[in-house]
Amino acid sequence: MTALIDAYPSRQGSRPSITPRKDPVVHATDPGRGPLSADKVERYAREGFLIFERFLDASALAVLRGEMDRLWDNADRADPAVIREPESDVIRSVFDVHRRSRIYDRMVRDPRIVAIIEQLLGGPVYAHQSRINYKRGFDGKEFFWHSDFETWHVEDGMPRMRAASVSIALFDNLPINGPLMLIPGSHLHYVACIGETPEDHFKYSLRRQEVGVPDIETLCHLVKEGDGIAAPAAPAGSLILFDCNTMHGSSGNMTPYPRSNLFVVYNSVKNTLDAPFGGTKPRPEFVAGRDFNPLVPA
């Protein structure tokens, strides 16, 4: 098998760099065909994210919350897919939830979501990753600024920018409880980071990522270019959709109010994983799925 050309090298030099994106944001040949209006498609292409308030109703939320609690209560200490906070034993994330739960499997294959993703990515998709980020009151720690694609490219072998993420708010995302923050327009630039990737980096990075994160100067540049930071106050049941290369992060939760989200990554079946471009062994299946069969809407 011929090795793929590394279109987005990172963690290879002694200095960070920022270069223009080489891939389209919207991959459909006819982006007007699908559930999203032309205005929303254009906004996604320009800003790198979309917000759908109250996408789920109260009854659906209750079911998803109940399943979230079940996964918490049944978490096995020896399970590598159960990630703890960096400085405590509190659960930070549970990965691979669409394979652990029929309820979350159906949510991942919600036909409304799949149709939107397929419209933007130009065809069938599969689930690259799913997880619950708990971030419960007082215990939930920060997720530092990062582009998911940089990690998926270097550590998982995702060749190009043809993936998108969905974050569903299971509780209110308030300005005070560590909501998702995004830098508008940052998806149009690729940030190459510094620092060699350690073996089994996921064992540390899923708790607190320190390799594969942008430098402060680059972050300031992206914020200035994007005219600020968006921190949408999304009511419970809302859905935030963002491009795989959108720079995002969130602060810790110092309040009593939980900020638990279902996070799902959809990747095009024409963009399946190869060998990691960083030269390390592939990350485990629960972090980077290699079942490339197209999702069938539920």
Distance CA 239, CA 234 (A): 8
Average confidence (pLDDT) over 121-140: 97
Predicted TM-score (pTM) of this structure: 0.97
Structure tokens at 263: 């996070």
Average confidence (pLDDT) over 274-281: 96
What is the reported pLDDT for 163?
98
Average confidence (pLDDT) over 51-69: 98
What is the reported pLDDT for 2?
54
Task: Report which of 42, 40, 9, 19 is spatially closest to residue 222, judged by C-alpha positions.
Answer: 19
Residue 107 has pLDDT above 70, yes or no: yes
Question: At the topology level of CATH, where does 56-268 sit?
Answer: Jelly Rolls (2.60.120)
Average confidence (pLDDT) over 263-283: 97
CB burial readout 89-115, b (16+ within 10 A) else e = eebbbbbbbbbbbebbbebbbbeebbe
What is the reported pLDDT for 89?
93
Residue 18 near residue 12 (C-beta atoms within 8 A): no
pLDDT single digits (tens) 222-237: 999 998 999 999 999 9
Distance CA 48, CA 113 (A): 17
For helices 38-47 and 111-121, give the axis angle rounded to 10 degrees: 70
Average confidence (pLDDT) over 189-206: 96
Please report which confidence band the pLDDT of residue 1 belongs to, taking 50, 70 and 90 as the band edges.
very low
Beta bridge partners of 267: 126, 163
